[in-house]
């Protein structure tokens, strides 16, 4: 009986391996309340994930992973790229310090050089653009020198590497990187049989254009379809459209066959008023449908590449409370920081989720239109709030109304003054990209906090 069980188990595991799911998870650690690496890896095991992607080469995590079967993706930090690009010894040292101590016990499969570096536009970053492919080549050379051939070298890019993406057959890489970066990169990926790693979020185009793109199309439950007039290909979901636009852009540079890996995708489970559609219902729907689609047998692929597998990493394992920016940034997790699931999901794709507990109804699927203010959150640390207040007031004219005797001076409290300052700063600087965040001390509100003669500046969403 025991023998039979073992026999059956090995057949099952063999067939599972043959039809292995394509789903991995990004393990980000930008939280001060997350489980330990050991506990996190146990959680990943319990979720039956087969691949895990890290944002560094954390020694503790890589050691822990050596006793597991996870396929692992590690990352060179952005600031290390230029050094590696100019000096082979630095590349060799990186591989010696970050790969050799763990490999092959830890199944490192992808070595990613930097993260979305073509999405930064400072002068320093532009130098890094030019260093990116040379750094990838040097890392590959270091691996070869160690006779390591099964680690693919790549770099995750965001969709903003495209200057146009619709319809997919019209897509092209941005002109500022097309010849100087993308062409040599594609040549490298092609010659080394690596992948084009892309961070692809249907959430972003949908949420910034929710009038023209249907939510169903973004969540893979559309019954409508969009035809690309250039090719006649029919699209039933936004992810396919985005992926094919990359395939067409690569084809135009002469590389039609480089395989894709989705280095990040997902949907936020919570957000602020200006972030429509960020809720548990949509996050669960997107990720469940994604998993079903990506692990379906036979493979579905995309309209431009039917039947071709696309390994996929969901972003992210946990909600990470120290990610800056919009509220959604801190709510991409599958799990709460205490390790409990935010919603049920079967990452093997075997279980259709029809028998799961009902999801909370989505209440914010429509873009909020109107005025908004930015106020201090309840219970914020007063020392930190005072510091944020003074930095928000640095710009000319932001806090004049808070001066003694002026209309917003009373009541004299840090919370009141900070709320005014945050609203005023946001109103002045939102067009330059400022967000209502202030290190988590601020939140957006649609309730006008003004009183008596004190008028809070507002933004119009
Ligand atoms: C390359 O880096 C190594 C180790 O950091 C250093 O010793 C060497 O001087 C560097 N070579 C050049 C040409 O900068
Ligand atoms: C939505 O589509 C209409 C009609 O095609 C177009 O005029 C409008 O500019 C689009 N709106 C946005 C926000 O893209
Ligand atoms: C598509 O779905 C919508 C909403 O679920 C429904 O109203 C519509 O009739 C459907 N259209 C087709 C062609 O099935
Ligand atoms: C408030 O923040 C300061 C500075 O970060 C910290 O030293 C202090 O312990 C915090 N106070 C409370 C009550 O958390
Ligand atoms: C503030 O205004 C003063 C005088 O008009 C000007 O010299 C200064 O550069 C301004 N500072 C900022 C941060 O805009």
* Helix, strand or coil, per DSSP, at residue 285: helix
| pLDDT (average), residues 348-368 | 88
Structure tokens given for 15:
């067939």
pLDDT at 13 over 80: no
Residue 324 has pLDDT above 90, yes or no: no
Cα 411 to averaged position of ligand 5 atoms, centre (Å): 28
Q: Where does residue 102 rank: exposed (0-12), middle (13-18), buried (19+ CB within 10 A)? A: buried
Q: Name which residue sits closest to atom 3 of ligand 1, judged by CA.
A: 89
pLDDT digits (tens, 9 = 90+) for 202-255: 999 999 888 889 999 999 997 789 999 999 999 999 999 999 999 999 999 999
For residue 372, give the 3-state DSSP assignment: strand
- For residues 400 and 428, what is the distance between their CA atoms, to the nearest angstrom? 13
Index of the ligand 5 atom closest to the CA of residue 394:
13
What residues line ligand 1, using a CB cutoff of 6 Å?
87, 89-90
The pLDDT of residue 399: 97
Band (pLDDT 50/70/90 cuts) for residue 20 is low
pLDDT tens for 40-86 read: 999 999 999 999 999 999 999 999 999 999 999 999 999 999 999 99
Percent above pLDDT 90 for the chain: 82
Structural domains of the chain ordered from first start: 2-355 (3.20.20.80), 371-460 (no CATH)
Reported for 179-187, long-range contacts at CB under 8 A and 24+ positions apart, including other chains, are 180/129, 180/130, 181/118, 181/129, 181/130, 181/132, 181/133, 182/253, 183/253, 184/133, 185/132, 185/133, 185/136, 185/155, 186/250, 186/253, 186/254, 186/255, 186/258, 187/255
Which residue among 381, 386, 388, 389 has the greatest number of ligand 4 atoms within 8 angstroms of its CB, and so is best to mutate? 381
> Which pair of structure tokens corresponds to residue 349?
């794709």
Mutation test residue for ligand 5: of 391, 395, 396, 398, the one with most atoms within 8 Å of CB: 396
| CA of 92 relative to ligand 5 center, distance in Å | 49
Q: How confident is the model at residue 8 (pLDDT cuts 50, 70, 90)?
A: very low
Q: For residue 265, what are the β-bridge partners?
A: 314
Contact status, residue 239 vs residue 200, Cβ threshold 8 Å: yes
Backbone φ and ψ for 31, nearest 5 degrees, come out as: -145, 150
pLDDT score for 21 = 62
Ligand 2 centroid to 213 CA: how many Å? 10
Summarize pLDDT for 369-378 with one digit per residue, the tens. 899 999 999 8
When pLDDT is averaged across residues 259-269 and rounded to a whole number, the result is 98
Dist. CA 322–CA 252, nearest whole Å = 40
pLDDT at position 273, please?
81
Structure letter (DSSP) for residue 201: -
> Is there a catalytic annotation at residue 384?
no
Q: Give the dihedral sign, CA 76/77/83/89.
A: negative
Counting ligands in written order, the one closest to the CA of 414 is 4
For 24-34, what is each residue's pLDDT tens digit?
999 999 999 99
Torsion, CA 164, CA 249, CA 20, CA 313, rounded to 10: -40
Q: Mean pLDDT across the stretch 303-324?
A: 96
Ligand approaching nearest to the C-alpha of 439? 4
- Region 87-102: mean pLDDT is 98
> Which residue matches tokens 């319990």?
46
Q: What are the Cα distances from residue 231, in Å, to 104, 131, 227?
A: 44, 36, 8
Mutation pick for ligand 1 pocket among 86, 89, 96 (CB with most ligand atoms within 8 Å): 89
Ligand with smallest separation from the Cα of 205: 2
Give the start-end residues of each E strand in 241-386: 259-265, 301-302, 305-306, 312-314, 371-376
Q: Is 329 a catalytic residue?
A: no
Contact indicator for 202, 238 with CB cutoff of 8 Å: yes
Q: Minimal CA–CA distance to 200: which of 299, 309, 312? A: 312
* Average per-residue pLDDT for the chain: 93
The pLDDT value recorded for residue 433 is 81
Q: Of the ranges 153-167, 173-187, 358-372, which one carries the lowest mean pLDDT score?
A: 358-372
pTM of the model: 0.83
pLDDT tens digit string along 414-458?
A: 999 999 999 999 999 999 888 888 888 998 898 999 999 999 999
CA distance 26 to 335: 12
Tell me: pLDDT of 271 over 80.
Answer: yes
* pLDDT > 70 fraction of the chain, expressed in percent and rounded: 95
């Amino acid at each position: 009986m025991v023998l039979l069980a073992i026999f059956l188990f090995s057949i099952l595991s063999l067939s599972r391996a043959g039809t292995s799911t394509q789903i991995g998870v990004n393990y980000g650690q930008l939280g001060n309340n997350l489980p330990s690496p050991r506990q996190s890896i146990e959680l990943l095991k319990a979720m039956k994930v087969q691949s895990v992607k890290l944002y560094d080469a954390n020694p503790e995590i890589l050691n822990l992973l050596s006793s597991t079967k996870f396929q692992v993706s590690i990352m060179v930090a952005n600031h290390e790229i230029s050094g590696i690009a100019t000096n082979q010894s630095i590349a060799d040292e990186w591989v010696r310090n970050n790969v050799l101590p763990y490999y092959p016990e830890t199944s490192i499969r992808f070595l990613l050089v930097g993260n979305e570096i073509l999405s930064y536009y400072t002068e320093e970053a532009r130098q890094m653009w030019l260093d990116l492919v040379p750094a990838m080549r040097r890392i590959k050379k270091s691996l070869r020198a160690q006779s390591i051939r099964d680690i693919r070298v790549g770099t995750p890019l965001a969709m903003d590497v495209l200057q146009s993406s619709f319809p997919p057959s019209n897509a092209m890489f941005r002109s500022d990187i097309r010849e100087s970066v993308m062409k040599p990169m594609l040549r490298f990926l092609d010659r080394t049989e690596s992948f084009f790693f892309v961070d692809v979020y249907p959430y972003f185009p949908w949420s910034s254009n929710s009038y023209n793109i249907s939510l169903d199309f973004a969540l893979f439950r559309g019954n409508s379809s969009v035809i690309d007039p250039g090719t006649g290909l029919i699209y039933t979901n936004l992810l396919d459209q985005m992926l094919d636009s990359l395939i067409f852009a690569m084809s135009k540079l002469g590389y039609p066959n480089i395989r894709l890996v989705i280095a990040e995708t997902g949907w936020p489970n919570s957000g602020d008023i200006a972030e429509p559609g960020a809720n548990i219902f949509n996050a669960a729907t997107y990720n469940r449908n994604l998993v079903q689609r990506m692990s379906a047998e036979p493979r579905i692929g995309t309209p431009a590449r039917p039947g071709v597998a696309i390994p996929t990493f969901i972003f992210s394992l946990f909600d990470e409370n120290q990610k800056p920016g919009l509220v959604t940034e801190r709510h991409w997790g599958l799990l709460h920081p205490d390790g409990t699931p935010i919603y049920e999901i079967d990452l093997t794709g075997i279980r259709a989720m029809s028998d799961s507990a009902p999801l909370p109804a989505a209440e914010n699927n429509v873009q909020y239109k109107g005025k908004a203010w930015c106020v201090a959150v309840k219970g914020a640390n007063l020392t930190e709030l005072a510091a944020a207040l003074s930095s928000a007031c640095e710009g000319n004219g932001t806090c004049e109304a808070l001066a003694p005797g002026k209309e917003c001076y009373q009541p004299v409290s840090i919370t009141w003054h900070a709320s005014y300052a945050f609203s005023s700063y946001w109103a002045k600087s939102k067009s330059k990209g400022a967000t209502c965040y202030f290190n988590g001390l601020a939140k957006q509100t649609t309730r006008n906090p003004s009183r008596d003669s004190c008028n809070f500046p507002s933004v119009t969403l």
